[in-house]
Amino acid sequence: MSLYAIQNEITDIVDAILDGGDAEAQQALEAHLAGLDAALDEKADDYAALIQHLAARADARRVEAQRMRDLASTDEALADRLKARLKEAMETTGRTKLDTARFRLSVAGNGGKQPLSVTCDATTLPKELTTVTVAANKDAIRQALENGATIAGCELLPRGTSLRIR
């Protein structure tokens, strides 16, 4: 029986018990409800085991993914160093173009916007050359609301619930 079916049947039986009826029907409903409670306990145990298994597998995959990202970063760093070394060798020897058996190599100028360095304090620049970013201070808003303040467009939301498996 599925968890959904158990849940619906328990709800129906509880509603029937609350609606009343003869004593014999009440006893039959309560006996059936006890059986469904046992089925729910068993189903919940199976769910919890599956949840724990999936969480452990997700953790293992996350660790493996991080290991693979680290390996990729190492390979990228090595490729960048080798590329810089080859570029330097080509520039030093004055050979900006090379044709090999498998590749055609060239040293060319970068396109796009010219690089810019800003080392001065931004407050010394004219206003038309600066930007200002405004963001809500959520910690201060939360504290004010907890202290009883009313702020238009802001409210504390309920914390919600979570399932804990131990």
Residues forming beta bridges with residue 105, ordered by sequence position = 98
Strand, coil or helix: 98: strand
Helix (H) / strand (E) element for 54: namely helix 23-93
Give the pLDDT of the chain (166 residues) as one tens digit per residue. 787 787 877 777 777 777 776 677 677 777 777 887 888 888 899 999 999 999 999 999 999 999 999 999 999 999 999 999 999 999 999 999 999 999 999 999 888 888 899 999 988 999 889 998 999 999 999 999 999 999 999 999 998 877 777 7
pTM: 0.59
Residue labelled with tokens 């060319």: 108
